[in-house]
């Protein structure tokens, strides 16, 4: 019941038929009543693409200017000197067959990101049925299959996010925490939208940024006018 009352109170401050400026929308979210925990700020961007076609798939990864306000546990599959580099960069877990065995036999999944050197993909490949459905499978296009493990670990620990358009044409991503200053939330959201604009497929026709909505974990969404999003900092 308390949740319903909070949701109703937050909804009362929002005109469902209005597209708000991003700055105003963030301010409304910050002022809305919420639960006792620090909610995430979620951005949903409806793109004018048909993800059923490979040439209209939008997918990538980026480091948000102010991170996501959450510690990211990173697992690295590497050996030799690359194993040492990963540990020095702050990886939470580093190994090879030992970690693969722990995942398959113990259903161990206490991590949010998996990085691997190319020579370890024969080991990681056996984990596809476990990691794939959870979006944890390393991918060279996302920078998680790389020899530069130190940079990959540093970026992911700093709040690197992955984005991918779903089958309905929407990209969902976390752009911070409610405890963040308004300016940091706006900057993170602007950076993500800028990345999506740069990732626009050549095959996409018509309006590309069709709809943007921002919300907290437990709160209602607020429609955002795409033209109100400030240019991302260089």
Question: For the segment 87-121, what is each residue's pLDDT rounded down to a tens digit?
Answer: 999 999 999 999 999 999 999 999 999 999 999 99
Delimiting residues of CATH 3.30.190.20 domain(s) in the chain: 16-68+160-228
* Residue-level pLDDT at 59: 92
Longest CA–CA span in the chain (Å) reads 58
What digits encode the pLDDT tens for the residues 179-215? 999 999 999 999 999 999 999 999 999 999 999 999 9
User: Which of the four pLDDT bands, split at 50, 70 and 90, describes residue 80?
Assistant: very high
Distance CA 144, CA 75 (A): 10
- Architecture of the domain made up of 16-68+160-228: 2-Layer Sandwich (3.30)
| pLDDT band at residue 168 using 50, 70 and 90 as cut-offs | very high
Residue pair 163/59 in contact by the 8 Å Cβ criterion = yes
CB half-sphere exposure, 222, CA atoms < 13 A: 29
Q: pLDDT by residue (tens digit) across 115-152?
A: 999 999 999 999 999 999 998 999 998 899 999 999 99
- pTM, two decimals, is 0.80
Quote the CA–CA distance of 192 and 195 in Å, as a whole number. Answer: 5
CATH number at 74-157: 3.40.50.790
Every domain of the chain with CATH number 3.40.50.790 lies at 74-157
């Amino acid at each position: 019941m308390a949740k319903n009352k909070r949701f109703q109170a937050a909804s009362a401050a929002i005109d469902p038929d209005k597209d708000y400026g991003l700055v105003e929308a963030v301010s409304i979210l910050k002022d809305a009543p919420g639960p006792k925990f620090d909610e995430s700020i979620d951005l949903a961007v409806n793109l004018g693409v048909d993800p059923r076609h490979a040439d209209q798939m939008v997918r990538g990864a980026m480091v948000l200017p102010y991170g996501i306000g959450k510690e990211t546990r990173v697992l690295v599959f590497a050996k030799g000197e690359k194993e040492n580099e990963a540990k020095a960069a702050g990886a939470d877990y580093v190994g090879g067959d030992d970690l693969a065995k722990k995942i398959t036999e113990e259903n161990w999944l206490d991590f949010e990101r998996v990085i691997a050197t190319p020579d370890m993909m024969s080991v990681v490949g056996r984990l596809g049925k476990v990691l794939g459905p959870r979006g944890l499978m390393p991918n060279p296009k996302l920078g998680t299959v790389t020899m530069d493990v130190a940079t990959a670990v540093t970026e992911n620990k700093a709040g690197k996010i992955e984005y991918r358009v779903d089958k309905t044409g929407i990209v969902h991503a976390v752009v911070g925490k409610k405890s963040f200053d308004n300016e940091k939330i706006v900057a993170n959201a602007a950076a993500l939208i800028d990345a999506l604009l740069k990732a626009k497929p050549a095959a996409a026709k018509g309006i590309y940024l069709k709809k943007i909505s921002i919300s907290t974990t437990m709160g209602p969404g607020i429609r955002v006018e795409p033209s109100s999003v400030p240019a991302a900092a260089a």
